[in-house]
Structure 1
Amino acid sequence: MKQLLLGPKQSDGSRTINTNIDIGKHGYFFVLNDRGDLLAHPSLEGQNLYDQQTSDGFYHIRDMLSKSGQPEGGFTVYKWPLPDYSKEDMKIAYSLKDAEWGWTIVAGSYIQDYNSGQKRIIQGTLYTLIGCLVVGTLIVIMFAMQFSKPIVALTRQVGKIAEGDLSSEGEPFIRSRDEIGDL
């Protein structure tokens, strides 16, 4: 089970994160027993985290163990330091107790990783929308120009007639087979 979720144990006691299971850039599975011992974890395997608190005093492991006992499991949201950074970010974990083994299996990921897929979809949608607006605007402009050119030419011709200039003939692009061409 440990190797399936995380990968084989390294000589330093750590486990590589299984890249075949994608739960975000910094996401991974870990396994707890009821006492809060880490039975499987990328770097803390064997440690007891039952009394571990976040910077704001929240007992996140206790919350995971509590919610894992619910029929559908449960989510825990808490602040946790980003890997390789001193700043904290919100993390989300889903925990569910395995009835056969009695273990709590947890899948955790930073919310920024969790939401990265939606961000890509939103960006793609926005780029598509902008592209459609540009193309649509160009089509409307071209249609409006095709429609307005004969009207502008007719207005120019009527203006010449109003000034008394009856010598000029209609401009060639007024020769359309519609009402403007008839005028």
Structure 2
Amino acid sequence: GNAPSAITVGAVKVQNTVPRDDDRIADYSSAGPTWYDAYAKPDIVSPGHNIVATAARNGYLYQTYPSLKADDGDYMLLSGTSMATAVTTGSIALMLEANRYANGYPSHPSLTPNSVKAILQHTALSIHDDAGIEYDSLRKGAGSLNTKGAIDLGRTVNTAAPLGTMWLTSTPSPWTKIGSDYYSWNQTV
């Protein structure tokens, strides 16, 4: 996705722990810039490794890779940026729902695609490599997906605010508590 308005998502390996400090960008996740027009991509990174997904029992993956079957066989453990994109899409759905509920949708418009992208990027969290060095923006985009932060910020956006006025109905704290740890939002777009 090199369209400026498209949301491109890199994949993160979460280590099956609650804290985010041990999350790492997956080796198979592509880095930017885009080939032809040099856009900085991905826009964000999201969990995409060993994601439990529904399985098509007659499908190629199910038949060819039985080691990927999870639980009772109706699910598989899949990895890739396509899985990270699905996780991000679910987070966007939750953010849109929170915004619509707070704004009385359909009497007020929904968030625009560019607003959704900006909220995801603004609320993203830092992500570091094994040496504790933050990944550069061509690997991590704005940072790691922060679903709770995106929901919290999305809920405060007044989509009916007149041009030139404040969009936010309140100012959420620019951090998110995950487990017992507090993580600051990157606040970049």
Query: TM bucket by the smaller chain?
Result: under 0.3
Higher helix share: 1
TM-score (norm 2): 0.20
Largest Rg, 1 or 2: 1
